[in-house]
Amino acid sequence: MAMERMMMEGLMHPDPQANAADAQRSRQRRSALINHILAYMATAVVLVPVNFLLTPETVWFYIPLVAWMAPLALHVAYAMGMFDNKQP
């Protein structure tokens, strides 16, 4: 009963291979997102000391980090499937 309702609501494909493909795509997107977040954090860890060692009178490290947040937010939305064109 629950499986039929999930299929009717578009939450589950009637084809098990399609479910497996969706699961694989989701894992790949999640893995890419985690790599993107780790790169962002590593860059932040490097930029802060570089800023204060090279130009302590000017605080600029936040500018590239804030600029990077928009692509990161888009990547989060993509990983969540917000840009998928699945018809109900």
CB 47 within 8 A of CB 61: yes
Q: For the chain, which ranges sit under pLDDT 70?
A: 1-18, 87-88
d(C-alpha 40, C-alpha 32), whole Å? 12
Q: What is the pLDDT of residue 84?
A: 86
0.75 surpassed by pTM: no
Measure CA of the first residue to CA of the last residue in the chain; give whole Å: 19
